[in-house]
Amino acid sequence: MDLKGQVGIITGAARGIGKEIAFALARRGVNCVLCDMDTKQVNETAEEIANLGVETLPITLNVADLSQVEQMKNKVIDKFQRIDILINNAGITKDGLLLRMKEADWDAVISVNLKGTFNCTKAVIKAMVQKRYGRIVNIASIIGLIGNVGQANYSASKAGIIGLTKSTARETALRNINVNAIAPGFIETKMTKVLSDDVKSALLKQIPLGRFGKPEDVADLVIFLVSDKSSYITGQVVQINGGMLM
């Protein structure tokens, strides 16, 4: 799946799943725009990826701020004159039971996860429409499909991303822009590493494959969805959860 010369924007790219996606794209020749709130970490990640022989552009970005997103898009166009791929991966959690959830925690999660996905998608669509080509992959979650105790805000944001994915796919299909979502289950990241052994054991019992996924599993699926191998797939939510939800 050679994507050499294409330009991809990855949000939440400094670490974890976003970083692994960026590396996977770079290995296939994609010039990577790495966006994250953590300036130091995103610059370090950009340096690592540049060693693979592609161009990188690290940008400190709050995806919830449309003006910042527009500025980011302009920088990308100025440098590369094109945008082929957008990976909406940036996301946060602020968990708590609905009864006790603060309005600020609800607003923050919706703003970053859902509004951030809208902002970035809206910003790149014009460039993709003009070129009559684009691949957008939104990182949703199994929690957006089944809900979870203490994650009403997160679940709502990820369910919203799924609806946004389907509507965007319908609006852009005739312009050869494919828009899909990935709904990961429990993936080995910082968030899962801090779970207690009892919690991990309980979760693993719900997963038929008996293990957590790896960031590479998600990255491999992203590569498929941005390649020509998936040119007839759009508006879909692809689950990657070890069989936890079938």
Give per-residue pLDDT as tens, 200-241: 999 999 999 999 999 999 999 999 999 999 999 999 999 999
Provide mean pLDDT across the span 43-50: 98
- State the pLDDT at residue 113: 98
Catalytic residues: 154
Whole-number Cα distances in Å, 33 to 85, 141, 230:
10, 23, 23
Beta strands in the chain (DSSP E): 7-11, 31-36, 56-60, 85-88, 134-139, 177-184, 237-240
Provide mean pLDDT across the span 10-32: 98
Distance CA 148, CA 85 (A): 31
Q: Tell me, which fold does domain 7-187+214-240 have in CATH? A: Rossmann fold (3.40.50)
Q: Determine what percent of the chain is predicted with pLDDT higher than 90.
A: 96
Distance CA 65, CA 115 (A): 9
Distance CA 95, CA 117 (A): 20
- State the pLDDT at residue 17: 97
Distance CA 195, CA 89 (A): 22
- State the pLDDT at residue 191: 73
Distance CA 85, CA 146 (A): 28
CB 50 within 8 A of CB 43: no
- Degrees (nearest 5) of the Cα angle 121, 126, 132? 105
CB 158 within 8 A of CB 143: yes
Distance CA 198, CA 125 (A): 45
Q: Is residue 240 packed enough to be buried (19+ CB in 10 Å), middle (13-18) or exposed (0-12)?
A: middle
Residue 11: partners with Cβ closer than 8 Å, 6 or more residues away: 18, 35, 36, 61, 63, 87, 88, 89, 90, 116, 120
> Nearest 10 degrees: CA dihedral of 93, 99, 104, 105?
0
Provide mean pLDDT across the span 167-193: 94
CB 128 within 8 A of CB 178: no
CB 28 within 8 A of CB 1: yes
